[in-house]
Amino acid sequence: MIKKVINKKNKKIPEPTLRRLPVYYHYIRKFLQDNKDDFISCTQIARELHLIPIQVRKDLEYTAAQGRPKVGYSVPDLLRSIEYFLGWNNTTEAILVGCGHLGSAFLGYNGFKDYGLNVIAAFDSDLEKVGKKISGKSIYSVKVMPKIIKRMNIKIGILAVPGEVAQGLADLMVQAGIRAIWNFAPVKINASKEVIIQHENLASSLAVLSKRLALRLAE
């Protein structure tokens, strides 16, 4: 029994599963808010999200959530399981570098708090912006960024800057102690292997969209 749990924990989690979990989470939260029922089943989640029940069940298995046959999963328990599994139970603090349109959009969208991410400070090199606030968050000079990263022991950095300066800023972030960079700049960032770089590439998404549309229109 215990062994099984350990095995499950050690098992590598498929990335597709990881990407689906927040989608379930979002739906289940809404389900809770609407106060529909205390229990929820895979069948129900699957129907709503246009998936198949077995896939939802498999995915939830990774979170170690415990369901009851015929009844389903306790809604609050299930939410807690997903939160815990994704490390969203204790909110992670992050900094944002670059307060252009994209960075501003990020600050304005405070929905990430539900997903365990709290942007505590924003930085920009433009002195016009420094000292001002966007969506209630103060903008600081990039010059003080390393100091703040160190002082507050921040591990996650969000990069929303032009491509030309992205690598240099990433280097500064890593030197100061950042361990994961969420990169929205349209260039590849190089860093030591210990640093996790997640590149948000809209061109990839566009390729999927345009190919699917082209195939559809050719039918």
CA 215/CA 208 separation, integer angstroms: 11
Complex with DNA: residue 31 or 73, whichever CB lies closer: 73
- Indicate which of DNA, a second copy, none lies near residue 214 (CB less than 5 to 8 Å, by partner kind): a second copy
Complex with DNA: residue 61 or 171, whichever CB lies closer: 61
DSSP sequence for 177-199 = T--EEEE-SSS-----TTSEEEE
User: 60: part of which helix (H) or strand (E)?
Assistant: helix 53-62
CA 51/CA 42 separation, integer angstroms: 10
Strand 67-68 with 92-97, pairing: unpaired
Q: How far is the CB of 5 from DNA (least distance, A)?
A: 9
- Indicate which of a second copy, DNA, none lies near residue 55 (CB less than 5 to 8 Å, by partner kind): DNA
Q: Which residues pair with 179 in a beta bridge?
A: none
Using DSSP's 3-state secondary structure scheme, residue 53 falls into helix
Q: How far is the CB of 208 from a second copy (least distance, A)?
A: 5
Among 15, 128, 164, 219, binds DNA (CB under 7 A): 15
Interface residues toward a second copy, by CB under 8 A: 13, 15, 18-23, 25-26, 49, 85-88, 92, 100-102, 104-105, 108-109, 111-112, 115-117, 155-156, 179-180, 182, 186, 188, 194, 196, 198, 200-214, 216-217
CA 182/CA 196 separation, integer angstroms: 8
> Is residue 72 close enough to count as binding DNA by CB under 7 A?
yes
CA 189/CA 170 separation, integer angstroms: 7
* Contact window for DNA (CB under 7 A) among 36-44, 128-136, 149-157, 208-216: 36-44
Q: Which residues of this chain interact with DNA, rule CB under 7 A?
A: 4, 12, 14-17, 41-44, 52-55, 57-58, 60-61, 65-73
